Amino acid sequence: MTAAGLISVPHVIRGQVIHDPVVEYTLSTGMRFATPALDLDQLVWPRSEPLPAAEVPLAEVIDVLAATGEQLRTDASGVLKDVFASLETASPYERQVLETCFREMWRRFDPDGLRLMVEGEMGSLDVLDGWRPAGPGRLSTGRSRAYPARLIHVLAGNVPDVAAITVIRGALTKGVHLLKMPSNDLLAATAVLRAMAAAAPGHPVTQSFSAVYWKGGDPAVEGILCRPQFFDKLIAWGGESAIRNAVQYIGPGFELVAFDPKNSISMVGQEAFASAETLAEVANLGATDAAVYNQEGCVASRFQYVEGDLDDVDRYCEQLRIALGAERKYTSAVVPPPPADLRDEVSALAQMAPYYRVFGEPDGRGMVVRSDEPVEFYPSGKTVNVVAVESLADAVRYVNVSTQTIGIYPPARKAELRNALASAGAQRIVNLGRAGGTAPGYPADGFYPMNRMVRWIGDEG
């Protein structure tokens, strides 16, 4: 922290930590912070220069990432101590949730998990280590390579893990990476890169990363950086406005890889009502998925489709309301209440019984709105819309291309639903209660990100 509550936000440039808070910003929330000044020449890797990590063996890259994880676990260099000093001021999350996120971040860097990521997303470990036969038969006389790329990453700030997973994927694919930090998470990207700099100072992987802040949409910065002579791809996370801003820069030689804004849902079969104990357990799983990251992340379930008659569905709603009030590893017991327009909508629906029924209050402790069709507002602030359906198959019509994660109970029902869900546009199917536990090596948002983070080059035989 600097004087008078001004947060000092460092930059990392090619693995070097820069502390020189000379440019001040004030957000609409009232938060004030200062960063070093930008030197755009330092943020690009000219095509005349070889990429630092391009020829580093994958095994060595994994060793660097594992050492970074160990730095985060032990905080031997004091990086997390610095982060924790600014957490409450610099983030909308409660300190307990944020501290848990950062203290658990090291688990992402487990070497076995890293190898699973590469095998799952790229097909094999050797594909990133040079030229290999292009394929079987006649293709075997040629060679192909997943060549490292020059990438700009516009990060989302709703979950600190976004920064960690971006650094991991970027290191494994051996490219060079400019991370644009979001205003609602000014700490995660530099924390990971500072830990990497402490673990492997001067290493080519460390030198391959920069993380800086500029005001999103600033043409004086983005209009220069987002050019094919400097970068190959723009990887953008965030809401509709962030993605639309990114699209304007896309042209020949400069590609967009978008993690679009998404919603997630749950599907609960009639098996949940087998006993009172089963119902309570299933409601707890539903609440775990709904409230993960205080319902800020795209994986958080906002709509839950429950199979059964109204009496049973209402029993589920009451149990869900109770379960939503619990504090969890990545969930506060009380979150900021939903906005006024949502509260007004719910108040109006409460007068329309029996078509709608409201459980709980809009106080950030957990509220459930039961209906026979999805409500038109966007549930937030630990608010869940439970929709009663005769069959889980009936809920498929509410799935579209913006539906990311679907948690299903019981897991045995997934097989009967997954083809229809995929056809409707869904991208990820999990057991209920596992929405927040992304496993390494699986697709994300309908594609394999690491596969898109390289340039596939052919040497035809």
Mean pLDDT of 186-194: 95
Is the alpha carbon torsion for 187, 188, 194, 195 positive or negative? positive
CA distance linking residue 404 with residue 421, whole number of Å: 11
For 380, other C-beta atoms within 10 Å of its C-beta total: 18
Name which CATH class applies to 3-260+445-459.
alpha beta
Q: Give the tens place of pLDDT for each residue, 64-117.
A: 999 999 999 999 999 999 888 887 676 667 778 888 889 999 999 999 999 999
Instruction: Name the nearest CA neighbour of 192 among 24, 17, 441.
Output: 17
Q: How many percent of the chain have pLDDT more than 90?
A: 77
Whether the ω angle into residue 410 lies within 30 degrees of 0, i.e. cis, is yes
pLDDT of residue 180: 97
Per-domain boundaries in the chain? 3-260+445-459, 263-431
| Helix boundaries (H) for 173-275 | 188-199, 204-207, 219-225, 240-247
Q: Give the tens place of pLDDT for each residue, 119-149.
A: 999 999 989 999 988 878 777 788 899 999 9
Instruction: Name the nearest CA neighbour of 272 among 410, 174, 167.
Output: 410
Mean pLDDT of 48-68: 96
- The sheet that has 7-8: what strands, in order across it? 7-8, 32-35, 23-26
pLDDT of residue 286: 98
Q: Give the tens place of pLDDT for each residue, 294-319.
A: 998 889 999 999 999 999 999 999 99
Question: What's the pTM value of the predicted model, to 2 decimals?
Answer: 0.93
Choices 3.40.309.10, 3.40.50.300, 3.90.550.10, 3.40.50.720: CATH for 263-431: 3.40.309.10
